[in-house]
A and B are shown apart, each in its own frame.
Chain A
Amino acid sequence: MWKKSPEPEEFRPQATPATQPSTAPAPKASYPQAKDYATIGSTISIKGDLSGEEDLLIEGKLEGKIELRRHCVTIGKNGRIKGDVFGKIITVEGTVEGNLYGEEQLILRQAGTVRGNIVAPRVALEDGSNFKGSIDMSPKEKPATAPQDKVATAAKSS
């Protein structure tokens, strides 16, 4: 079901940028290359929750919750997600029906479609992207030792 990509090809989960208090630096079309990430290919369909400890690129279909709170999650152009997504940096080029919780940043590319709510301190939505829902950029108290609690709190309050 999972496969390690030997080399980044077309898209690639991004390296973590420096945290800034504000939002939305102008998104670039190219991404920093990551050393390693997992891929769910375009022919793969998954029903169920997904969690892990590495960056992930999804080109297939997934119905369920994605939890990679300390890693980059990328929904590729062919990716179709029904469910909530938790990640450090979330990039959407495909379609998501669910809420997105980015610990650091959320990027919605021009080809991306989101029907749901976004909670992230930094949000970049490319013009032409398709989004309907709420965006919550208000800063949350960051717990010293439990970063996952922050998102859980945000989820409850949204």
Chain B
Amino acid sequence: MIWTPRNEPAFHTSLGLQALCRRIQDVGACDILELGPVRNRNLDFWSRFQPSIYIADLRSSLPLPDSGAAEEAEPEPDWGQILGLPERTYNVILAWDLLNYLDISSVSSLARHLARFCGPEALLFAMIYDQKQMPDQITVYKIADESHLEYENGSTATRLCPRHQPRTLAAAMPGFSPDESFRMKNGIVEYLFRYAP
């Protein structure tokens, strides 16, 4: 089964989310950096971890490159201004499918910026498309349960997928190592990066 964009919500099995929950369940309180938009269901889900959550909502504030231009050189985003993160540390970062919409140099600059806000052993959850096409816009994921995500995308339009490879990502994200990865049947590879500089 290949990932297909659609207007109506659809479900996606997520072993990466399952692994993330397993890893943080023993942590007393979570400091979560959500790079996606706010969703009540996600907030409800994370509430069991007594979290402090920062909503960065890059989906609304990040100018995406033109369709198919993800491989081309783009001006490096000013992550300090875009994210506006308060001076604190996080132990969970939810990137969802954001990295697919950045060229590799922007992935690198984002990782370097995020590293300043990572606590020891912080975990970064990312989903990388490994197929020719991907949704034209960053997808909104709602957590259904520990291993299922509901995703919604406003349109069925697609764009070329940069297909970031594991080695490329690892090299572009100094300090972050892919601790666990899950290749899903729908053409998405889910990564759990651990920050250990």
Contacts and interface: CB of A to CB of B under 8 A. Distances in A.
Interface string A105-129: 0000000000000000001111101
B8 to A, nearest CB: 15
For the side of the interface on A, what is the size category?
20 to 34
Nearest to B52: A136
B43 A125 contact: yes
B54 A22 contact: no
Contacts of A137: 43, 47, 50-53
Given A125-B38, A129-B38, A138-B29, A23 B53 contact: no
Contacts of B66: none
Interface of B: 29, 38-40, 43-44, 47-48, 50-57, 60-61, 84, 86
B99 to A, nearest CB: 20
B176 to A, nearest CB: 22
Question: Could you say which of B38, B48, B84 has the most chain A C-beta atoms within 10 Å of its C-beta?
Answer: B38
24 contacts: A23-B43, A123-B47, A125-B39, A125-B40, A127-B39, A127-B40, A129-B38, A130-B60, A131-B38, A131-B57, A132-B61, A132-B84, A133-B54, A134-B53, A134-B55, A134-B86, A135-B43, A135-B51, A135-B52, A135-B54, A137-B43, A138-B29, A138-B52, A139-B50
A74 B86 CA distance: 27
A127 to B, nearest CB: 6
Contacts of A124: 40, 43
B52 A132 contact: no
A130 B86 CA distance: 19
Contacts of B60: 130
B86 A24 contact: no
A32 interface: no
Given A24-B44, A125-B38, A125-B43, 12 more contacts: A22-B44, A24-B40, A27-B40, A124-B43, A131-B57, A132-B55, A135-B51, A136-B53, A137-B43, A137-B53, A138-B29, A138-B51
A144 interface: no
A23 B44 contact: yes
A130 B60 CA distance: 10
A136 B47 CA distance: 10
A146 interface: no
Contacts of A22: 44, 47-48
A26 B55 contact: no
Contacts of B54: 133-135
